[in-house]
Amino acid sequence: MRFRSITGSVLLGSLSIMGTLASQASAAIIIATGQNNGDPTHTSGNYYYSINTSTGVATPISPLLTGGSPAGLAGTPDGRLLGISGGRVGEVNPVAGTFTPVGVDNGLSITGFDVIHDGRAFGVPVSGTDRRLHQLNLATSAATPVGPVGFIGQALDSFYGVNPGTTSAFIIGAGSVARRQNIGTTANPNLVTVSTIYGVHLQANGNQLVAMNPDSGFASVIGALNSVGTSGNPGAGAYSGFAAMTGADENGDGLYDTLYGNVNFFDPDAAGPLASQRLGGLARYDLGNGTWSLVGTNPGLIFFGFGSVIPEPTSLTLLAGAGLLALRRRREAR
């Protein structure tokens, strides 16, 4: 999912910082919405951040947001950063701190939002009775359900071993990973690109990584019971707050190959007398067993949404210079 052009792009300012960091080996850049104060809502103390996937360090790149922030973010194949809020999708300029929605409210409460390799956008409602995967029209914000009603819930029911219709899917974040698949033969290969959308279903003692097919809506659960909730260092406290997710391009081929998510909170004594801490963690997911490993933390921060846009290698030199200038001006303004 590449950034095709610098000229005229609303992302020039944001990608300047991304270019600086992406020049480091094996680093991708995630743009996040987040907050550095004690208000747990999306309306106070919010900024857009740039996160280096090698270190997990988050750098604010916007002014303080006065009108809140989108609940979900997603990069597009043509280099845009999009968000979703109030049932509408729209363009995000993370340096200016603006969100410009399009169309009309589709009536769905969606925080898990993603755009796959071919430009199609998807989301999963977190409330109501229709919590299956939906395809979103990026021009109108209209939502079209994918697959039968309750498809994700059925997969969770089967995994948990409960009666059909018991589990209501609660997919709060979404991100995709793509792979090139040969549908031909060894002698006559025919490579196609296939994306899988992932999200975390949140449930007491059952936080699970869920894989979703964007064409059929079919869902499957990855890993053991509560594999997400028991990741990290389960012997020393408890982690929670898995609100954001995105794919990122670690190998530089223009496709998302690695799945990242956030970890907002850490309780050092797992519901004991010690207070939970705002961790601001970046986690890398293992798509084989549904667990994650902590890349880095930003104490005091929490994140709401993740999205990743990949700059062209030829753009990095210019972007790096612009990024240093932007950071210098920010320091001088303090």
- The DSSP secondary structure of 284-305, one letter per residue, reads EE-TTTS-EEEEE--TT-EEEE
pLDDT of residue 39: 64
Mean pLDDT of 272-277: 81
pLDDT of residue 5: 31
230-256 pLDDT, tens digit each: 887 655 668 999 999 999 998 888 899
Mean pLDDT of 259-266: 95
pLDDT of residue 235: 59
> In the structure encoding, which two tokens stand for residue 99, read together?
């969100």
Mean pLDDT of 270-279: 82
For residue 203, pLDDT beyond 50: yes
Structural domain count of the chain: 1
CB 211 within 8 A of CB 176: no
pLDDT of residue 324: 40
For residue 84, pLDDT beyond 70: yes
Backbone angles phi and psi of 21, in degrees to 5: -80, -35
| CA 224/CA 302 separation, integer angstroms | 27
Look at residue 317 and give its three-state secondary structure: helix
- Give the CA diameter of the chain: 64
- Calculate the average pLDDT of the chain: 84
For residue 318, pLDDT beyond 60: no
Q: What angle do CA 329, 330, 334 make, to 5 degrees?
A: 115
Mean pLDDT of 174-182: 90
- In sequence order, the β-bridge partners of residue 47 are 34
Sign of CA pseudo-dihedral 298, 28, 171, 71 = positive
Mean pLDDT of 290-318: 79
pLDDT of residue 112: 93
**Domain, as residue range, for 328:** 2-333
133-158 pLDDT, tens digit each: 999 999 999 999 999 999 999 999 99
Strands (E), 116-170: 121-125, 134-136, 143-145
CA distances from 291 to 14, 70, 173, 200, 288 (A): 31, 27, 15, 11, 8
pTM: 0.85
CATH of the domain at 157: 2.115.10.10
